[in-house]
Structure 1
Amino acid sequence: MTIQAINVRNQFKGIIKEIIEGSVVTEVDVETPAGLFTSVITTRSVKDLDLQIGNEVVVLIKATEVSLAKL
């Protein structure tokens, strides 16, 4: 699969470091030069994409809201 064009500006290439599978959703940790990102996606999608530790992936971030809390 190749990505020809996508309307997401925040893109980070990385390597899958950990997969924590649940019955409905799965956490996928991706290490990038910008840091570690965790994506929570459906377990079905993880299987359909055949995601495995060590795979190279692209983290795509498109958010309408970013929240902050002062500590």
Structure 2
Amino acid sequence: MRLSARNRIPARVTAITKGEATANVELDAGGVRLMASITVEAVEELGLRPGSELAAVIKASDVMLAVED
């Protein structure tokens, strides 16, 4: 697989919550919890299930940062 995105994070699926059209996929990325919202169709096409190893690919034009006051 070749991608232009440079933000690839190895992760493991820990849970999938399917709605009617969208699924929330919970990931463990080396002890950091990430959530991805993708279509139910994509979950099925990718064969995702708890325990699946994958790469979370993040491509965004904006990243917000926060610090404590």
Q: Deviations over 1:23-42 (max 9, x none)?
A: 11000011012611110000
Query: What is the percent sequence identity of the aligned residues?
Result: 26
Deviations 1:49-69 (A, max 9, x none): 111000001000010122457
Q: What are the within-5 Å matches in structure 2 for residues 1-71 of structure 1? A: 3=1, 5-33=2-30, 35-67=32-64
Separation in 1 of the partners of 2:62 and 2:12?
A: 26
Q: Which structure 2 residue ranges, 5 or more long, are not aligned? A: none
Q: Which amino acid aligns with 1:11?
A: R
Q: Which consecutive residues of structure 1, in runs of 5 or more, have no partner in the other structure?
A: none
The list of structure 1 runs, each at least 4 consecutive aligned residues, that deviate by more than 6 angstroms after superposition, is: none
TM-score, normalized by length of structure 1?
0.83
Distance in 2, Cα, partners of 1:56 & 1:34? 14
